[in-house]
């Protein structure tokens, strides 16, 4: 590194000396005199310095490219993990639906109590994974959240969801499953 600076200093000193001597000569002599040629070693030094700069720039670009590749790969891995998690949850949602249907039936208290404990465990898992139910009843129909199965006449609730056939769920702000609803017209 010091050698590079020393060589650059020498090249600059020679340039300064040549410009100072040129200024002291008369204008007539300047027109007739040809500029001094650089020695072969100076030309080689200049070429090597330029090549070194190019290689340093290339190395910096490669380092930046590698950092971008690393970030891209991290994003891909995170997305793949989230997609796998979402797929697993989606395959589990029909079981949750059937559990809720079973709990609405008349059955002995011991069975109903066991089912409610299972339901409570599922709710805990959903909370831990930021899975929330999409609210429907009494809410305005939103095609981004709801899937309309049919319409019924109900002027008092026009444009609102009046019945839910299948609950919808979202994880954070991403929709896992749209809610299947009946909409009043």
Q: Are 19 and 36 in contact (CB under 8 A)?
A: no
- CA separation, residue 116 to residues 91, 120, 125, 133, 168 (Å): 21, 6, 14, 18, 20
Nearest to 182 by CA among 156, 154, 162, 158: 162
DSSP of 78-119: HHHHHHHHHHHHHHHHHHHHHHHHHHTS---HHHHHHHHHHH
Flag whether pLDDT at 23 surpasses 80.
no
Residue-wise pLDDT for 59-70, tens only, equals 999 999 999 999
Query: What is the rounded CA–CA span in Å between residue 127 and residue 145?
Result: 19
pLDDT interval class at 7 (50, 70, 90): low
**Contact 127/142 with Cβ under 8 angstroms?**
no
pLDDT of residue 58: 96
Closest CA to 8 of 57, 54, 52, 56: 52
Max CA-CA distance within the chain? 119
Length of the chain: 185
Distance CA 146, CA 151 (A): 13
Per-residue pLDDT at 156 exceeds 90: no
pLDDT in tens, 100-137: 999 888 888 889 899 999 999 999 999 999 999 999 99
């Amino acid at each position: 590194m010091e050698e590079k600076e020393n060589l650059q200093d020498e090249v600059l000193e020679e340039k300064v000396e040549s410009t100072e001597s040129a200024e002291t000569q008369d204008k007539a002599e300047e027109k007739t005199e040809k500029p001094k040629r650089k020695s072969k070693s100076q030309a080689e030094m200049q070429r090597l310095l330029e090549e070194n700069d190019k290689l340093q720039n290339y190395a910096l670009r490669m380092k930046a490219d590698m950092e971008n590749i690393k970030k891209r790969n991290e994003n891909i891995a995170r997305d793949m993990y989230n997609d796998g998690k979402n797929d697993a949850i989606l395959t589990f949602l029909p079981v949750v639906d059937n559990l809720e249907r079973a709990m609405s039936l008349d059955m002995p208290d011991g069975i109903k109590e066991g089912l409610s404990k299972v339901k409570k465990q599922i709710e805990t898992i959903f909370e831990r994974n930021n899975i929330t139910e999409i609210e429907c009843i009494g809410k305005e129909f939103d095609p981004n959240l709801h899937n309309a199965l049919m319409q019924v006449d109900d002027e008092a609730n026009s444009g609102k969801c009046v019945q839910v056939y299948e609950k919808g769920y979202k994880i954070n702000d991403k929709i896992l499953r749209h809610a299947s609803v009946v909409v009043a017209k």
